[in-house]
A and B are shown apart, each in its own frame.
Chain A
Amino acid sequence: MDNWKIEATKHTPDVYFDANNNVLELKGESYPENIAEFSAPIFSWLEEYLEQLKDTAFVVNIELTYFNSSSSKMLLDLFDRLEEEVAENGKNITVNWIYDADNDSAEEYGEEFQEDLESLTFNLVQKDE
């Protein structure tokens, strides 16, 4: 698959897929008025990507300083979809939840996603100062 990108806005994160390294990155803040409108292209890209993904390790880096409650639901849907791919098709997928040391909200939300996931590797990664 090719590199792919959605530019960040003030209320939506940067979305970037690095085809050389098989890394998808979401970085910034997420609090759009209509989350479905923002996330629809991400989910349709993901379906295409998972379809062709074989044994290659796929890494998803999430680095969101703030996200609203409807974005939180979108993230859970994303992780559930990835978990399904690991559990049912044995795919090699890792999520890194990246947060700043002084952002206790982000850390807490990361821990809560981690608690709700079983098969998917979900790492909490504290950023260096």
Chain B
Amino acid sequence: MLESLYNFKKELNKRGIFFCFSGPMSQDLLVEIGDTLKNKMKLEDTSSSTIIKVFSMFVEQTQNIIHYSAEKFSNQPEETTELSSGIIVVGSENDHYFVLCGNMVDNESVNTLREQLTTLQKMNKDELKRYYKEQRRKGTPENSKGAGLGFIELARKAVKPIEFNFQEVDGNVSFFSLKTVI
């Protein structure tokens, strides 16, 4: 266990990952981690424009975990406190920052998510802008806890199309992962 932790760190370094979190996520954690990431990038003399874009990716992807992860801890039956679990990773490769997130989703939602993300992958920047404005004009979609704009926002800010993957875990859930490059 102890030795494998060092191997794990080496593996992260090799992939350019300088931040990695796995476990129950909360808005409070998001705020503190976000601050730390901004400070880290400032120390590296990253332009403030890039810092805001990376921070924006981090916020949208982390709030996605908080809102939609199928892996939740709650004090049933009261369900007053609920924590969502997921993985969030930030790193740099080839002079670009990247943000990677992963969480469990119900198998029933895989097809819809795949369709949504494939549509976004195929759009150019102008199409994404138009689509973003259209969706923003519409009311909040059903089942959405935000404005339903998170994925479009990610696609717009990223320098290349969003990459994503689904791995079926069992008959109920799949592991959903998504990568954006800034």
Interface on A for B, CB 8 Å cutoff? 10-11, 31-35, 65-66, 68-70, 72-74, 76, 100, 102-106, 112, 116
* CB closest chain-A residue, reference B53: A105
User: Are A69 and B150 closer than 8 Å at their CB atoms?
Assistant: yes
Across the interface, which residues of B come within 8 angstroms of A112, CB to CB?
129, 133
B62 to chain A, nearest CB (A): 10
Given contacts A68-B56, A102-B48, A103-B52, contact A11 B147 (CB under 8 A): no
A72 to chain B, nearest CB (A): 7
Task: Point out the residue from A33, A69, A116 that lies within 8 Å of B147, measured CB to CB.
Answer: A69
B174 within 8 Å of A by Cβ? no
User: Are A70 and B49 closer than 8 Å at their CB atoms?
Assistant: no
Across the interface, which residues of B come within 8 angstroms of A33, CB to CB?
27, 63, 66
A45 to chain B, nearest CB (A): 22
The list of the 10 closest CB pairs from A to B, nearest first, reads A73-B147, A69-B149, A70-B146, A33-B27, A69-B153, A70-B147, A10-B31, A31-B59, A102-B48, A104-B49
Across the interface, which residues of A come within 8 angstroms of B63, CB to CB?
31, 33, 68
User: Are B52 and A69 closer than 8 Å at their CB atoms?
Assistant: no
Across the interface, which residues of A come within 8 angstroms of B52, CB to CB?
65-66, 103, 105-106
Interface digits, B2-40 against A, CB 8 Å rule (1 contact, 0 not)? 000000000000000000000000010001000100000
The docked-state distance in angstroms from the alpha carbon of A116 to that of B137 is 10
Number of interface residues of B (CB under 8 A): 27
The docked-state distance in angstroms from the alpha carbon of A74 to that of B137 is 11
The docked-state distance in angstroms from the alpha carbon of A70 to that of B149 is 7
- In this complex, the member of B27, B48, B55, B146 whose beta carbon has the largest number of chain A beta carbons within 10 angstroms is B146
B47 within 8 Å of A by Cβ? yes
B60 within 8 Å of A by Cβ? yes
User: Are B149 and A72 closer than 8 Å at their CB atoms?
Assistant: yes
User: Are A76 and B137 closer than 8 Å at their CB atoms?
Assistant: yes
Given A66-B56, A116-B137: 11 more A-B contacts, CB < 8 Å: A11-B27, A11-B31, A65-B52, A66-B55, A68-B63, A69-B60, A69-B146, A70-B147, A72-B153, A73-B149, A74-B147
